[in-house]
């Protein structure tokens, strides 16, 4: 018998967006809210703590920055696929979020006069990346959780593996999953659900993501009948540490770091002379890949060439003060000191621009369900996200969805009864996985998926590569049915959780590839060698993927909201 737990609001995901929403709900309802926060990890281990470089906001209008400039940078950086009303709302909200965190006690880095410090970031026309050394996400998370502790209106459910969103008559009816410490089935009921579970970048083998970030919220929403938007746009960060993929923050280049090939050249001069290393991420990643394909990389031990991120000219004092985490990671993982030695890097899977479709307030098409942060696609980033806009998105739409949910609670009806058939189907699915027999290995299948994504859906794509990748994904789905779950236990059955995660990743991989194969143009992070130019006449539109009964995606499209700037050629 499944244990049922009721809260007015259920927040799935405890990263920046989830915590910011919880704080906003608690503030607006003066601590009288009833919030349940569920997370597959211990709360302060959400992937948001890994955000490093900064959070973008207009803090110096008197010195040349402006809302219009931040908005233009974001729209241009998105390759004109961002919804411009969303961008406008974002840039106007961000200064308030920075100052609010300051009042709540975050240790922002300060300049010599005591002002909150900002540094340059890729694609921005002004140094507006607000920083807390190179541990910005960590300190933002700590500050939000410290603030939430002032309110005694929430309960944490750590290590709860959510598997299904229950829906009755178009309304949220429950969140079902497995409580890892006991193995028992639990159903969370409530008037409102916020999905804030992060992205799906562990689709790739070479990735900056924590291995716990497997697109679960997106996949659950997809199965529950919600469309996924713009999933073909997956960002590659230019500087993933070789061979681990650990993020070498864009702040390295914001502080003046150079990218160099095996000839010692700062090669970005050939690709984006005005911005150099601080061009948008899609452009820098493509430039790096061009250098590697031209034979100007360094030979890697894994057979994959790499390039250099050179900080040596910055000096020990600047690196120790502004990039202490980067130095620590390089020394611990490679035995390399970036004060004296260049860092080996190459493009790495980093961020999902796509996600669960929402309106400008973070609401989905199902009553009582909102989404925020990287799991959602409010369409702030379009085809390419600018660095330091992601933590800002989590803060802004965490606050917006929190306010929307707080305002709606008095009007929303009580949670309907748990749909017995849906709950039984979820439990039957886990039992079927545990009973699965065959000779396939879950972990070999997961490795094959990630290798395929690295090789077929990378920085550069072609129809031929994508079509082959789609065949492989569908074969892997068939092979998955013959991969047994060796652990038959109930408590902390990570083997079962890995099987459920792989199912989610396979679904997201198919959506990503079908969207990329169908979009016959190059735009932002989606670079087709066989369709090398942007085609606004045919493809200035958002992709919507709906799940069909057989599990495959059906694509629809909707227009991009353009309020101020018509698309022009994107040059830097």
Question: Is there a catalytic annotation at residue 253?
Answer: yes
Measured CA distances, 8 to 3, 153, 427, 474 (Å): 17, 11, 24, 40
Specify the 3-state DSSP secondary structure of 117: coil
Which of 45, 124, 253, 385 is catalytic? The answer is 253
Element (H, E) at 186: strand 184-189
| Tokens 């699965």 sit on residue | 436
Tokens of 472: 């492989």
Q: CB neighbours of 363 closer than 8 A, spacing ≥ 6? A: 369, 370, 401, 404
Cα Rg of the chain, angstroms: 23
Task: Report residue 209 as tokens.
Answer: 């993501």
Would you tell me how many other CB atoms lie within 10 Å of the CB of residue 495?
Answer: 17
Give whole-number Cα distances, 489 to 11, 420, 480, in Å.
28, 25, 20
Distance of alpha carbon 572 from alpha carbon 561, whole angstroms: 24
Distance of CA 197 to the CA centre of its chain: 9
Active site residue 237: yes
Helix 494-518 and helix 420-435: axis angle, to 10°? 100
CB 570 within 8 A of CB 91: no
Q: Are 49 and 137 in contact (CB under 8 A)?
A: yes
What is the rounded CA–CA span in Å between residue 404 and residue 228?
22
Query: From the candidates 124, 189, 237, 450, which is the catalytic residue?
Result: 237
The residue with tokens 């082959």 is: 468
CA distance 344 to 261: 10
Residues paired with residue 487 on neighbouring β-strands, in sequence order: none
Report the C-alpha gap between 559 and 327 in whole angstroms: 45
Here the contacts of 242-245 (C-beta below 8 Å, separation 24 or greater) are 242/300, 242/304, 242/306, 242/344, 242/345, 242/346, 243/300, 243/301, 243/302, 244/333, 245/206, 245/207, 245/208, 245/348, 245/349
What's the gap between Cα 180 and its chain centre?
A: 24
Q: Where are the alpha helices (DSSP H) in 294-437?
A: 316-322, 324-334, 390-408, 420-435
Write out the DSSP string of 230-296.
Answer: -TT-EEEEEEEETTT--B--THHHHTT-EEE-TTS--GGGGT-TTTGGGS-HHHHHHHHHHHHHTT-
- 392 to each of 16, 57, 87, 380, how far by Cα in Å? 9, 8, 11, 11
Classify residue 175 as left (phi > 0), alpha (psi -120 to 50) or beta.
beta
- Helices 84-104/390-408 angle, 10° precision: 90
Q: What is the set of active-site residues?
A: 237, 253
């Amino acid at each position: 018998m499944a244990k049922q737990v009721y809260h007015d609001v259920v927040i799935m995901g405890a990263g920046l967006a989830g915590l910011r929403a919880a704080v906003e709900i608690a503030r607006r309802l003066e601590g009288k809210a009833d919030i349940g926060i569920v997370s597959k990890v211990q709360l302060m281990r959400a992937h948001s703590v890994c955000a490093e470089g900064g959070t973008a906001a207009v803090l110096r209008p008197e010195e040349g920055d402006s809302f219009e400039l931040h908005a233009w940078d974001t729209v241009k950086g998105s390759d004109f696929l961002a919804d411009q009303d969303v961008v406008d709302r974002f840039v106007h909200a961000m200064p308030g979020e920075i100052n609010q965190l300051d009042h709540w006690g975050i240790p922002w880095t300060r300049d010599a006069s005591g002002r909150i410090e900002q540094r340059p970031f890729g694609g921005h026309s002004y140094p507006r990346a607000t920083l807390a050394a190179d541990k910005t996400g960590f300190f933002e998370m700590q500050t939000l959780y410290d603030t939430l502790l002032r309110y005694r209106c929430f309960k944490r459910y750590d290590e709860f593996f959510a598997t299904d969103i229950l829906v009755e008559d178009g309304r949220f009816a429950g969140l079902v999953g497995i409580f890892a410490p006991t193995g028992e089935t639990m159903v969370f009921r409530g008037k409102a659900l916020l999905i804030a579970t992060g992205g799906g970048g562990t689709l790739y083998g070479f990735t900056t993501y924590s291995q716990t970030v497997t697109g679960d919220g997106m996949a659950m929403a997809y199965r529950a009948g919600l469309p996924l938007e713009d999933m073909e746009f997956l960002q590659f960060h230019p500087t993933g540490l070789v061979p681990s993929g650990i993020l070498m923050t864009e702040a390295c280049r914001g502080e003046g770091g150079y990218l160099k090939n095996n000839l010692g050249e700062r090669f970005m001069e050939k690709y984006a002379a005005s911005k150099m290393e601080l061009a948008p991420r899609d452009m820098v990643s493509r430039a790096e890949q061009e250098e590697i394909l031209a034979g100007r990389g360094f030979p890697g031990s894994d057979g994959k060439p790499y390039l250099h991120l050179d900080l040596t000219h910055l000096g020990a004092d600047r690196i120790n003060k502004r990039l202490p985490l980067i130095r620590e990671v390089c020394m611990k993982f490679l035995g390399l000191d970036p004060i004296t030695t260049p860092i080996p890097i190459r493009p790495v899977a980093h961020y999902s621009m796509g996600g669960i479709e929402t309106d400008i307030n973070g609401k989905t098409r199902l009553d009582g369900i909102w989404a925020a942060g990287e799991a959602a696609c409010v369409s702030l980033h379009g085809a390419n996200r600018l660095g330091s806009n992601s933590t800002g998105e989590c803060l802004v739409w965490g606050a917006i969805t929190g306010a929307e949910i707080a305002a709606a609670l008095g009007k929303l009806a009580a949670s309907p009864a748990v749909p017995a058939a849906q709950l039984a189907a979820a439990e039957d699915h886990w039992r079927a996985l545990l009973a699965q027999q065959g000779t396939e290995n879950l972990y070999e299948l997961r490795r094959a998926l990630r290798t395929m994504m690295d090789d077929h859906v990378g920085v550069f794509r072609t129809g031929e590569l994508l079509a082959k990748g789609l065949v492989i994904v569908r074969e892997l789905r068939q092979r998955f049915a013959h991969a047994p779950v060796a652990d038959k236990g109930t408590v902390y059955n990570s083997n079962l959780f890995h099987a459920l995660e792989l199912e989610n990743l396979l679904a997201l991989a198919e959506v990503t590839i079908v969207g990329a194969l169908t979009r016959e143009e190059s735009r932002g992070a989606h670079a087709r060698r066989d369709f090398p130019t942007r085609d606004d006449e045919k493809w200035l539109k958002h992709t919507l993927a709906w799940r069909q009964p057989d599990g495959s995606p059906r694509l629809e499209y909707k227009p991009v909201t353009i309020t101020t700037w018509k698309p022009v050629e994107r040059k830097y």
